[in-house]
Amino acid sequence: MSNSGDKAFYLTTPIYYVNDAPHIGHAYTTVAGDVLTRWHRQRGEKVWFLTGTDEHGQKVMRTADLNKVSPQDWVDRLVETAWKPNWKSLNIANDDFIRTTEPRHTERVQRFLQGLKDSGHIYAGKYEGPYCVGCEEFKLPGDLIEANGEKLCPIHSKPIELVNENNWFFKLSAFVEPLLKHYKDNPDACQPESARNEVVSFLEGGVSDLSISRSTFDWGIPVPWDTDQVVYVWFDALLNYATAVGLGDDPKSEGGIKFAQTWPADVHLVGKDILRFHAVIWPAMLMAAGLAVPKKVFAHGWLLVGGEKMSKSKLTGIAPSDITDHFGIDAFRYYFLRAIPFGTDGSFSWEDMSARYTSELANDFGNLASRLTAMVEKYCAGIIPSAAKDPGLESALQATVNRADPAMCALDFQGGINAIMEFCKKVNGYVTEKEPWKLAKDPANQKELEEVLYNTAESLRALAVLLNPVMPTTCEILWESLGAHATMGPISKQTISDVARWGQLPPGSSVIKSAVLFPRLDVSE
Ligand code: MSP
């Protein structure tokens, strides 16, 4: 999955509803996107990473009503006080942030829609059926569950509403065959396999045309030729991926050039709850407009609380700061990707997170770094000794990169991180076996002692680069403390393809004893 020429590796997260503040489920997706894009940047690729907010529709409008403010005031406040600061505090390096209330979005949505109308993909019709405002989705009767005589949305466990409106429809059904062919010809286009199977069987079951406008409220983008209607919020929201990069602009304009450099998206990262929107409706919209479809839609699993999808509406939402205040930001970024296979549901538990923090981050990684810098200070006057090579470590490092790179590129974050952390364990084993503190007791062993310390420092050099996409703040500190920044330049400029080349850490660099990378947890809290 690498791009050549001017095309950037373009990754998107869903744009989140701003009816409430973010919880760790939202952070899970965005952190995964951030880690993957940092990995691709570290591979030396051009990258474009988009996130943003979904601001129209009834869900947001009703929340604003309940709070007695206008929807625009509500979304402005939440975006500025909750969403953007949240991503900043989690160290998310997105290149752009799109809001669906921005003119750059609304204008391009209207132009796109008019284009579909003009080419005969849209017609007037009547929609009658159930709707879940939590999902902002027209439901099929078979999608619902029944409790106490009421029909409920299985995701939100809340009663659905009946909609009966004259709307505009998109001829979605015309794209069933092209979509089936697309997924047959491009198995990578929808991942993991379970997600692709779900989409294929959904398509095989037949798909009806889609109502793409609403007439009973006005918080949305007006349909250009019928301004009594607003664009259905999902139709509006999905287009963000393309409006943010200049959809429909003159190829010679700034937007048009950006579009050529980014489209089609390489990965749309989504939770499995919104897979069908992304793998059925969205590519059909693009096909209708004659545009390339995304290269991959990847659906990850849910973070569960009490066996159910964690959500604010069920009062099970955990704010990222509840975790980062205790464990730190990098441990948060690491934990979910390390602990849960991407694509599978996983339960969050404080116990498991504490255990991994202590054994993998504080003991295996943090201690290795602090032991090394302390020993270089003590036995080598704080200077990295002459270069040395341990064939076992050198080949283990190469094998690590050979495993980690394809795993990360395939969004197997757990596999990629495991490979790197296994190398970390191996380096710990090397230090334990060589016992440099014993070698230091006899000056006759100085050369061997220095070799052991160089090999350990060089391994840490590689670990810092490999873990940088996952834990950028910690790895930057480690990079500084190895004296690498002064001699090798910024950590962000080190490439994955070169990381296994042994002997890069320049002898003679001054090691700086740094703060502890992963402090002991305060158990009194
Ligand atoms: N606004 C739509 C998406 C439009 S994209 C064109 C939406 N927003 S949302 O705020 O509900 O966020 C949905 C996304 O947040 C999910 O797809 C998933 O990526 C993430 N998650 C929300 N809750 C989650 C969990 N409990 N677990 C994991 N991810 C979750 O849907």
Q: Name residues whose C-beta falls within 8 Å of residue 148's C-beta, 6 or more positions apart in sequence.
A: none
Ligand 1 mutation pick, 273, 277, 305, 348, max ligand atoms within 8 A of CB: 273
Side chain identity, residue 217? F
Which DSSP string do the residues of 470-509 spell out, in sequence order?
T-HHHHHHHHHHTTHHHHH--GGG--GGGTT-S--SPTTP
pTM value is 0.97
Ligand 1 mutation pick, 12, 13, 15, 26, max ligand atoms within 8 A of CB: 26
Taking CB atoms and a 6 Å cutoff, what residues make up the pocket around ligand 1? 14-17, 25-26, 28-29, 54, 237-238, 240, 270-271, 273-274, 302-303, 309-311
CA dihedral (162, 165, 167, 172) positive or negative: positive
Q: What whole-number distance in Å separates Cα of residue 423 and Cα of residue 420?
A: 5
User: Which residue puts its alpha carbon closest to atom 24 of ligand 1?
Assistant: 25
| Predicted local distance difference test score (pLDDT) of residue 218 | 95
Checking if the pLDDT of 4 tops 60, the result is no
Q: What whole-number distance in Å separates Cα of residue 508 and Cα of residue 482?
A: 11
Q: Which residues are catalytic?
A: 23, 26, 132, 135, 153, 156, 309, 312
For residue 511, which of 472, 465, 442, 454 has the smallest C-alpha distance?
454
| Predicted local distance difference test score (pLDDT) of residue 302 | 95
Query: Could you give the domains of the chain?
Result: 350-498 (1.10.730.10)
Q: How many CB atoms lie within 10 A of CB 469?
A: 26
Whole-number Å distance, alpha carbon 16 to ligand 1 midpoint, is 6
Residue 45 · residue 9 · CB < 8 Å = yes
Whole-number Å distance, alpha carbon 453 to ligand 1 midpoint, is 46
Give percent above pLDDT 70 in the chain: 98
Residue 207 · residue 176 · CB < 8 Å = yes
Whole-number Å distance, alpha carbon 261 to ligand 1 midpoint, is 27
| pLDDT tens digits for range 104-153 | 999 999 999 999 999 999 999 999 999 999 999 999 888 899 988 888 99
Residue 183 · residue 199 · CB < 8 Å = yes
The two structure tokens encoding residue 123: 């017609």
**In whole angstroms, how far apart are CA 225 and each of 20, 220, 228?**
33, 14, 9
User: 226-231 and 213-214 as β-strands: parallel, antiparallel, unpaired?
Assistant: antiparallel
**In whole angstroms, how far apart are CA 365 and each of 335, 357, 517?**
14, 10, 8
Q: Name residues whose C-beta falls within 8 Å of residue 159's C-beta, 6 or more positions apart in sequence.
A: 150, 151, 152, 153
Side chain identity, residue 21? A
Checking if the pLDDT of 524 tops 60, the result is no
Side chain identity, residue 373? T
Q: What whole-number distance in Å separates Cα of residue 134 and Cα of residue 108?
A: 26
User: Which residue puts its alpha carbon closest to atom 7 of ligand 1?
Assistant: 16
CA 55 to chain centre: 20
| Predicted local distance difference test score (pLDDT) of residue 5 | 63
Looking up tokens 């770094």, which residue turns up? 369
Residue 16 CA: which ligand 1 atom is closest? 10
Residue 304 CA: which ligand 1 atom is closest? 26
Task: Say which DSSP state 159 is in.
Answer: B
| pLDDT tens digits for range 157-169 | 888 999 999 999 9
Q: What whole-number distance in Å separates Cα of residue 207 and Cα of residue 173?
A: 5
| Predicted local distance difference test score (pLDDT) of residue 142 | 85
Whole-number Å distance, alpha carbon 191 to ligand 1 midpoint, is 17
Q: What whole-number distance in Å separates Cα of residue 241 and Cα of residue 278?
A: 11
Checking if the pLDDT of 313 tops 80, the result is no
